[in-house]
């Protein structure tokens, strides 16, 4: 599990074109500690995972999802699955969510949020509604 978390952290960091030092400085950690986490030599605390999730703008469940499940998701599905703020206001502001060419209603967004929260809970990765 530690390697999966480390690989996920490294993947996010490289996608965002950030160095270990930049991330460490931003989350008040050390370059060497983050390096050990990325290499699977250290297990990050939940507090550290929360800091990293906040920094990268993802839900902490991102660090626990299995690679096979990620491979079967489109980029859009990944973005919504790991969106940290599942409020209707945030989703409407950040995303132009449509279905069959028509805008998704607020009621449909509520259903989507419920499904995402249920998915996170069923995977035992979401904890509380964050």
pTM over 0.85: no
Q: In this structure, are residues 41 and 5 in contact, taking their beta carbons and an 8 Å threshold?
A: no
Q: How high is the pLDDT of residue 13?
A: 92
Q: In this structure, which topology does domain 2-56 adopt according to CATH?
A: 434 Repressor (Amino-terminal Domain) (1.10.260)
Distances 26 to 23, 44, 74, 81, 130 between C-alpha atoms, Å: 5, 16, 29, 24, 21
Residues 39-75 pLDDT 10s: 999 999 989 999 999 999 888 888 887 777 777 887 7
pLDDT tens, 78-108?
777 778 788 888 888 888 888 888 988 889 8
Start-end of CATH 1.10.260.40 domains in the chain = 2-56
**Confidence at residue 35, expressed as pLDDT on a 0 to 100 scale:** 96
Q: What is the pLDDT of residue 31?
A: 94
CA–CA separation, 97 and 15 (whole Å): 24
> Which neighbouring-strand residues pair with 102?
99
DSSP letter string, the chain:
-HHHHHHHHHHHHHHTT--HHHHHHHHT--HHHHHHHHTTSSPPPHHHHHHHHHHHTB-GGGGTS-HHHHHTS-HHHHHHHTBS---HHHHHHH---EETTEEPPHHHHHHHHHHHHHHHHHTT---S--
Which carries the bigger pLDDT value, residue 121 or residue 37? 37
**pLDDT digit string (tens) for 7-49?**
889 988 998 899 999 999 999 999 999 999 999 999 999 899 9
């Amino acid at each position: 599990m530690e390697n999966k978390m480390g690989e996920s952290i490294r993947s996010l960091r490289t996608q965002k074109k950030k160095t270990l030092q930049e991330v460490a400085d931003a989350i008040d950690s050390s370059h060497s500690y983050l390096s050990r986490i990325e290499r699977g030599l250290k297990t990050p605390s939940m507090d550290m995972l929360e800091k990293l999730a906040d920094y990268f703008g993802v839900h902490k469940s991102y660090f626990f999802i299995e690679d096979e499940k990620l491979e079967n998701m489109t980029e859009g599905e990944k973005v919504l699955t790991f969106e940290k703020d599942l409020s209707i206001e945030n989703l409407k502001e950040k995303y132009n969510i449509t279905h069959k060419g028509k805008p998704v209603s607020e009621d449909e967004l509520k259903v989507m949020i419920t499904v995402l929260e249920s998915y996170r809970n069923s995977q035992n990765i979401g904890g509380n509604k964050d």
